[in-house]
Structures are given as C-alpha cells and as structure tokens.
Amino acid sequence: AQLLVLHGPNLNLLGTREPEVYGRATLEEIDADLRARTEAAGHRYASLQSNAEHVLVDRVQAARADGTAFILINPAAFTHTSVALRDALAAAAIPYIEVHLSNPHAREPFRHVSYFSDRAVGVVCGFGADSYRYALDAAFAHLARKPA
C-alpha cells in the first residue's frame, strides 16, 4: 500500500530545535528510518515537510488521487489551529494517525486542543522520534486488517 507521512511547520529544524523537548534526531534521520521500515514491510513511502498550511492542504488533496492508503501526520503547531488541514483530511477520507514527538497534554494549555484527534485512527505522542515508529507499526497493523 501507499503510505504518506506529513510533517508540519518547524519540524525541518529537528535536531537543533529545543532538543530537550523534541530530541536530537533530525527529520532526515527520522524520514530515512520510516522509509526503510515501510519498504521492508512491502509498502510504498512518500513524505513531505512544509511550513506552509496551503502546501499541506494541497498534498492531502493530491493524496485523494494518488492511491495513498494511509497517512501519518504530525501537524506540529497546526495541530492547535488548522481547521483547513482538518477539513482536507476529512474530504480525502483517508485514515490517519496523529503523531507528536512531545506529549502536548503535559505542556501549555493551548496545546491540549487538537483539531485532528477526534477523527484520527489513533494518536501517538510523547515518545520522541519513536512516536513515529510506533505510529508506523500501528499503520501496518491497520493496513493488514483492511487489505486495499
């Protein structure tokens, strides 16, 4: 199946961005690991990081047509603000898991609200870069239960 991983704003800075909160792994390292695991599991991998809301919306719209079966998304700050990205995922009707490196529930109150969680297959947060790996394993299990 075709998997799409989306990374929101400022995640291009991983490795140097508040490492005490987000860890020292770079986005390139995380992405390479996810790609290797996805391909080893016999699936196809695509990913995109953007600081621009409309770029992420456009990519989700494109996913409707390109055969994407499952999405992992770390909306980053858009988690707490973006009705547009939420609506794009609803329109695409592609199942997704919401991922965060940190645990937003243990942070400032404005991070306790997510526009994505109530429609997600599940949410993985608080495990640093491992959050993505756990979410990927959950995506494989979901795809195995629902063959394309």
Q: Which residue has the tokens 């409707």?
A: 64
Q: Which of 38, 50, 68, 79 forms a contact with ligand DQA (CB under 6 A)?
A: 79
Segment near ligand DQA (CB under 6 A); pick from 29-37, 62-70, 96-104, 132-140: 96-104
| Token pair of 3 as six digits | 């998997």
- Asked if 49 touches ligand DQA (CB under 6 A), the answer is no
The answer to whether residue 105 is catalytic is: no
- Asked if 50 touches ligand DQA (CB under 6 A), the answer is no
Of 81, 1, 91, residue with least CA distance to 42: 1
Report the residue number, 101 or 143, with the smaller CB distance to ligand DQA: 101
Give the number of other CB atoms < 10 A from CB of residue 73.
23
Q: What residues are annotated to the active site?
A: 22, 100
